[in-house]
Amino acid sequence: MSELTLERGLAALRAEVDGPVAAFFSSCVHCGICATACPFYVETGDPKYTPILKVEPLRRVWSSEFTLWGRLMSTLGLTKKVTDEMLAEWEELVYDSCSMCGRCSLVCPVGNDIQAMVRKTREGMVASGHAPEGLIAASVRAVQTGSPMGLQWKTLQVQIEHVQSSTGLEVPVDKQGVDYLAMLSSMEVINFPEYLEAITKIFHRAGVTWTLSTECFEATNAGIQIGNKDVAALLVQRIVDAAVKLGVKTVISPECGHAFTAIRWEGPNLIGKPYPFEVVHIIELLDQLRASGRLKTEGKESDRLSMHDPCNLARKSGVIDQQRNLVNLVAENFVDLKEHGKFQWCCGAGGGVSSNERADAIKMAAFKRKKAQIEEVSPERMVTMCATCRTQLEEGLEEFNMDIPVVGLTEMIADHLVEK
């Protein structure tokens, strides 16, 4: 039986080297500015969490095998090799203390996309057997059961029935020929069932034709989080198959950050071809509906609201103005965090950190950055649009005894729909 080995890890790293990687490593001047962009470093002060250091395994492979100078040096035995011991040591740096939020990629003075290189480094970590147990388990469950949390369709079915009875509206399932296929995330289904009800109401009022798919409802992608193309491609393929089978024009990514990155940006490259449909985030869709006048709201929230941008949505996918348009539609006292949009700070839970129980302590340490940001503007409630972020915000605020409820933007919009 085959197993994951160092050699397979190195091969995976080699396969990840490309022009940008070469340009990035050629350009790094070890200035350390990336550390000041990283919540894990900023809140712990431990220099081992410097982002560029996290991708050292990839750098060593590039340097010793993909540069003339490095080849000469390694012929003379003068280069540092990537070993199992090293990778074991780096596991914590690459997974526990990195949410791949991409803030470092935005501040690096020479333009290094460090986040992208962490993603690449994880390929090598997985192939060499150095991924965290929590993420391995999530990946195995996702592949075997269709959900990283082991959620079954029958559980969702119960929720669908509940939504239907409470709203009196139909939740379409496996409907051919509709415009949109809505995806969900397990965490949302379990922690924030309001979401399904909210989109059901909104789509009904806006006249959006949509459906769920019994073959694939899970939008999240454990393969992206753990950093393995094979698992990630397999999970994306399920969505593509479901969308193609139902003939939808557009797939809606739910209130989840990495799911959008997985489906919208990585998916086509994982399966090696463009999709025959479009992908939008629910927030993008809602803003489109707002702009076209199909989304009508009434009344406004009067308390002081602020917003947390999910990294994957804002910094990594350019969805920044949309959520502000929407929140201003229904709130009169909205105030942005000082650093927001593409310069927002990660909640600390993304990039698989929340699926990795071992990282609980540092996850909460990284949250302190968000906490400080929230304290600066002292809102009465926080709005966000990612189930992972929302869970982390709720847990974190509770941990620090801050009485600030967190709401999902979609539900908030649904609450203000004009009654027909």
377 contacts another protein (rule: CB under 8 A): no
Of 14 and 204, nearer to another protein (C-beta) is 14
DSSP 209-257: -EEB-SS--B---HHHHHT-HHHHHHHHHHHHHHHHHHT-SEEEE-S-H
Which residues, in sequence order, are bridge partners of residue 407? Answer: 383
Nearest residue to 17 via CA among 72, 55, 69? 55
26 contacts another protein (rule: CB under 8 A): yes
Of 106 and 169, nearer to another protein (C-beta) is 106
CA distance 133 to 226: 10
Site for another protein in 242-261 (CB under 8 A): none
The residue from 335, 343, 372, 400 that contacts another protein (CB under 8 A) is 343
299 contacts another protein (rule: CB under 8 A): no
317 contacts another protein (rule: CB under 8 A): yes
Site for another protein in 39-78 (CB under 8 A): 41-42, 45, 47-48, 50, 52-53, 65-69, 71
Site for another protein in 271-290 (CB under 8 A): 272-275, 278
Shortest Cβ 237–another protein spacing (Å): 13
Give the angle subtended at the CA of 196 by the CAs of 238 and 258, to the nearest 5°: 50
400 contacts another protein (rule: CB under 8 A): no
CB neighbour class for 166 (10 Å; exposed up to 12, middle 13-18, buried from 19): exposed
Q: Check if the beta carbon of residue 307 is closer than 8 Å to that of residue 324.
A: yes
308 contacts another protein (rule: CB under 8 A): no
144 contacts another protein (rule: CB under 8 A): yes
Of 205 and 258, nearer to another protein (C-beta) is 258
Site for another protein in 166-205 (CB under 8 A): none
SS3 380: coil
Residue 201's φ and ψ, nearest 5 degrees, are -70, -45
Mask for 112-141, x = binds another protein (CB under 8 A): xx--x---------xx-x-x-x--xx-xx-
3 contacts another protein (rule: CB under 8 A): yes
Shortest Cβ 416–another protein spacing (Å): 27
107 contacts another protein (rule: CB under 8 A): yes
143 contacts another protein (rule: CB under 8 A): yes
Nearest residue to 7 via CA among 88, 67, 70, 82? 82
Q: Is the dihedral of CA 364, 184, 202, 326 positive or negative?
A: positive
Site for another protein in 204-243 (CB under 8 A): 228, 230-231
What are 1's two structure tokens? 């039986």
Of 280 and 397, nearer to another protein (C-beta) is 280
SS3 26: helix
Of 60 and 201, nearer to another protein (C-beta) is 60
Of 313 and 406, nearer to another protein (C-beta) is 313
264 contacts another protein (rule: CB under 8 A): yes
SS3 339: coil
Give the angle subtended at the CA of 111 by the CAs of 105 and 117, to the nearest 5°: 50
